[in-house]
Amino acid sequence: MKALLMLEDGTEFKGQSFGAPGIHFGEVIFSTSMTGYEELLTDPSYAGQILVSTLAHVGNVGINMKDHESERPWLTGFVVQDAPRTFSNWRANTDLGSWLTDHNVVSICRLDTRAVVKHLRSRGAMRGAVCAGPPPADLLEQIKNSPRIEDQNLVSTVTCKEKKTYGEKNSLHVVAYDFGMKNRMVDLLLHHNLKVTRVPAHTTAEEVLALKPDGVFLSNGPGDPAYLESIVGQIKKLLNKVPIFGICLGHQLLARALGGETFKLKFGHHGSNHPVKNLATGRVEITTQNHGFAVDSKTLPESVEMTHLNLNDQTCEGLLAPACRAFSVQYHPENAPGPHDSRYLFKNFLEMMETNLAQA
């Protein structure tokens, strides 16, 4: 079936469908990850977005359920250069195209993804539509009338509906705010012998403190942090009460709770090869990232220290508020997919909680 990717500036890219039929709208972004398309497709942080992969061949190893980061894909569309018709992997349960069809993800292949990425790098991320089948005459008008990523509460769509506890017999207790939390996050917290209570995004600070946590984890998630002021208000109430560790959206929300501001990047950071400098050690970490917004380091109060720097565009990649016992990073230390350079941050969180208990 013929398929089309159209951007809100009127640019068209024609290809073929290999997923569900129909028309879906979203913000068009690209990822430079060379591995782990299953983890990318099931990352809730991609909610409301059409993902373009720079990888030439996507689908070679099919789909297996063990590598999923959530129960289903959340993105609205998927665009690749080539989607192989066959797959080969002993763990695979089905092929990529069938899985995308089953989950109603409109997907396009056999188009020049290099041209799409160059266009987005030049013009910036923008709204678009993926259309599998004959496009309507007013498709461009429909794109321009579709909601912007800044105007949607995507977190409420992807968060868990009720709290759930893992590792009941483990020692220290962490309450994890689920803003679109990946399964790998839970795995690494459990790996450090932590009991984890996963709670919905709009859980109040009072409800969190009633669970008597030794620490609070602020997860990744989709959308604009400026849209989530009610959540920021709850994080403010937790400052100075319990150690806090945030990543990605959680990093941005913590920064806003501390008095900082955030802004939208031109085309975001999406991939598993982003160099970040640890300003305390001088060490450069290769990191996995997936976000369209960033913290404005110039707006952080003097009591907050910037700890990590993006070496591509010099944006803030980490912060520390010693007096509040809170720290965060913009990237994904759980490495799903990606390198393991930043796993030490989970150990740092554990040590912060142990120190806090010793001083209590």
Q: What's residue 307's pLDDT?
A: 97
Q: What's residue 335's pLDDT?
A: 72
Residue of 178, 184, 193, 177 lying closest to 353 (CA atoms) = 193
Q: 325 — alpha (psi -120 to 50), left (phi > 0) or beta?
A: left
Main-chain dihedrals φ then ψ at residue 96, nearest 5 degrees: -60, -45
pLDDT score of 357 more than 80 = yes
DSSP label of 195 = E
Q: What's residue 343's pLDDT?
A: 83
Position 170 confidence tier, pLDDT thresholds 50, 70, 90:
confident
Measured distance CA(57)–CA(268) in Å, rounded = 23
The answer, yes or no, to whether the previous bond of 21 is cis (omega within 30 of 0) is: no
Domains and CATH numbers, the chain: 2-147 (3.50.30.20), 155-359 (3.40.50.880)
Q: Determine contact, residues 174/195, Cβ cutoff 8 Å.
A: yes
Q: Distances in Å between the alpha carbon of 155 and those of 182, 200, 228?
A: 13, 10, 9
Q: Distances in Å between the alpha carbon of 149 and those of 61, 127, 153, 355?
A: 31, 8, 9, 40
Q: Which residue has the tokens 């005459």?
A: 137
For the stretch 53-105, pLDDT in tens is 998 899 999 999 888 999 999 999 999 999 988 899 999 999 999 999 999 99
Residue of 201, 148, 202, 193 lying closest to 174 (CA atoms) = 193
> Which residues are marked as active site?
248, 332, 334
Which tokens hold the place of 285? 């970490």
For the stretch 279-330, pLDDT in tens is 999 999 999 999 999 999 999 999 999 999 999 999 999 999 999 999 999 9
Which tokens hold the place of 181? 């939390």
